Structure 1
Amino acid sequence: MALRNAVMAALLEGEASGYDLAKGFDASVANFWMATPQQLYRELERMEAEGLVAARVVEQERRPNKRLFSLTEAGLAAVRDYVAEPPARPTAIRDELLVKVQCADVGDPEAVRAAITGRREWSAAKLARYERTRERLLDGRTEDEYFAHAERIGPYLTLLRGMSFERENLRWCELALRRLERRAAAR
């Protein structure tokens, strides 16, 4: 998947500046796609040159003017075309932590436990952010009410997947830490 597809998905929420996209990427598509602000700005420039997004300048007092981007009709058509394509094979896991865990028996076990503990804390914080986003999206409604009445349900469905992913990370971290501690105690 190209970054442009994730940018277009984020712009379905409405007009946004590059800064807003970079900041909001964390809340909208970061559970399935990561990008640096520099990557986002470069992609927005390419997309504008290709007619997929349009930008308008908003003048600001005491701050630099900002450009707000929105999808054009060509951009919406590109989203429709992208959605119609069959997805590629699922991404393979490429996680440096798992390589370190694979080497736990010959490396520093305390360093491996610390790395897993760090991942556990990261996942817990990310899950807490996702929970706040979920509450904001639901806005006092039940999930059934949300699915029945929300204008768009895709962001909520992807959020649920991100939450499941982080819950599984937490479950695995707890399991791995218990096993490593038991093994260390038995030696």
Structure 2
Amino acid sequence: MSLKYAVLAALHEQPATGYDLTRNFRTRMANVWNASHQQIYRELAKMTEEGLLEVEEVPQESRPDRKLYRLSDAGTASLATWLAEPQGRPPTRDPLLVKLFGGDLVDPASLREEIERHRRNWQEELGRYQDIEAEYFSKPEQVPFRFRLQHLALRKGILAMEANLAWADEVAGVLKDELTSRP
């Protein structure tokens, strides 16, 4: 999958500026797709050239005009076609897991520090996801179907962070046992 379909899906919800999209990718879509400001703007330009997006210039006083992007008919059709196609899971490439395969070559305390660093990051990410859930989905049964689906995407991120934290506790326990058993 490319960034193209993540942008199309975000614009399917509502028209947005590049700035709005970047903010959306950093908040509500953070567990769905990671993209930088530059990547999003490059993709917007390319998709506009391909006719997938329409752009409206919105005048602003004392600032350059804003560009408001929305799906064109071709963009909606492209998104619908992609949504109907089965998607494979992305390959796993996790350096932390590789470190566990060779971890007996280093001091368990260094692995423990790395696990703790990841644990803090996962805890922060979980907090961000929970904040998003509280802000947008406090009553999920009362929101339209499309937002209930988005809530399910967010729930996957929440459950993944909770699983990461539980796993980190397991790893920390094994490392602690190893450290205490050493002379």
TM-score (norm 1): 0.89
Unaligned 5+ residue runs, structure 2?
none
Partner of 2:82: 82
Partner of 1:177: 172
Partner of 2:135: 136
Deviates more, 1:107-116 or 1:127-136: 107-116
SS of residue matched to 2:170: helix
Deviates more, 1:162-171 or 1:104-113: 104-113
> CA contact under 8 A between 1:31 and 1:162: conserved in structure 2?
yes
Q: State the AA in 2 paired with 1:177.
A: A
Q: State the AA in 1 paired with 2:155.
A: L
Q: Distance in 1 between matches of 2:65 and 2:100?
A: 48
Partner of 1:157: 152
Distance apart, 1:109 and its partner CA = 2.5
SS of residue matched to 1:128: helix
Whether 1:107 and 2:102 are equivalent positions in the alignment is: no
Whether 1:186 and 2:181 are equivalent positions in the alignment is: yes
Whether 1:97 and 2:91 are equivalent positions in the alignment is: no
Distance apart, 1:176 and its partner CA = 0.6
Question: CA RMSD, aligned part only?
Answer: 1.6
Q: Residues 12-45 of structure 1: CA distance to partner in whole angstroms, max 9, x if unpaired?
A: 2211111111121022322132111111111111
SS of residue matched to 1:16: coil
Partner of 1:73: 73
Partner of 1:53: 53
| Structure 1 stretches of at least 4 aligned residues deviating more than 3 Å after TM superposition | none
Q: Distance in 2 between matches of 1:185 and 1:43?
A: 52
Equivalent residues, number: 181
> CA contact under 8 A between 2:31 and 2:154: conserved in structure 1?
yes
Q: State the AA in 2 paired with 1:129.
A: R
